[in-house]
Amino acid sequence: MAFMLAHFEVDDYDTWKRERFDADPAGRAESAKGYQLFRGVDDPRKVFVGVEFASVEDATSFRERLLASGALDSMTVVTPPTVVEVVDRHEY
């Protein structure tokens, strides 16, 4: 299992979600297992995206497609899409 994480700043979350994220220009729905979206409580313009994949290879391939798609070119990217693995997890 691997994830792709990113942090963006958006002017209007609902418009961004509908027109950018849900449009899925890089084919996320075809290769991802799922996703989570988070918004800043103090600043709702801050959006954090976590997309889960079955493997590092799937996550890396999607990241490359996303970057090549140009979908991020006109966005404020705070932290670029980064492929990560879980190294420690604990539930309470």
Structure tokens at 25: 């220009």
Domain-located, residue 69:
yes
Domain-located, residue 90:
no
The amino acid present at 19, given as its one-letter code, is E
- For residue 71, the model assigns a pLDDT of 93
Domain-located, residue 13:
yes
Domain-located, residue 34:
yes
Token pair 């084919």 is found at 27
Total of domains in the chain: 1
Which domain range does residue 32 map to?
Answer: 2-84
Domain-located, residue 91:
no
- For residue 38, the model assigns a pLDDT of 98
Q: Of the candidates 42, 58, 46, 41, which has an alpha carbon nearest to the alpha carbon of residue 4?
A: 58
- Mapped onto helix, strand or coil, the DSSP state of residue 35 is strand
- Mapped onto helix, strand or coil, the DSSP state of residue 60 is helix
pTM given for the model = 0.92
Supply the CATH number for residue 49's domain.
Answer: 3.30.70.100
pLDDT in tens, the chain (92 residues): 999 999 999 999 999 999 999 999 999 999 999 999 999 999 999 999 999 999 999 999 999 999 999 999 999 999 999 999 999 999 99
